[in-house]
Amino acid sequence: MRNDERFEIERAFDLLPHVVGCSWAAIWFRMKKNKRPTRKEFREKTIEYFKTIEPIFLSYPKGQEFEAIQEYINYRVDEEIKKIEDGLNKEVEKRYDRYVDYG
């Protein structure tokens, strides 16, 4: 698969973990009146909400035509979850810091 064929998916995965995962996690903690979740709690909740959009990750038809992009999507989902778990997604870490500082 050429890089240009997956460009839009790459951009989506640059944003989805923190835009969807962190935004929903922050609201969840705010509604629970928890202004100081641990980093681990925030990461876990971010992953939980990120996983809720799984149907979109599986939305391309099955078949050879979409096989390569689907493999890439599956790879990126796993990679993004691992980065969040390990504290390596800088945007998620920034969102956590901002939430704890300004909740």
How many Cβ atoms from other residues are within 10 Å of residue 55's Cβ?
Answer: 7
CA distance 30 to 23: 11
Q: Write out pLDDT tens, residues 79-92.
A: 999 999 999 999 99
- DSSP letter string over 33-48? T-S---HHHHHHHHHH
- Per-residue pLDDT, 5: 83
Q: Supply the pTM of this predicted model.
A: 0.92
**Lowest mean pLDDT across 1-15, 36-50, 88-102:** 1-15
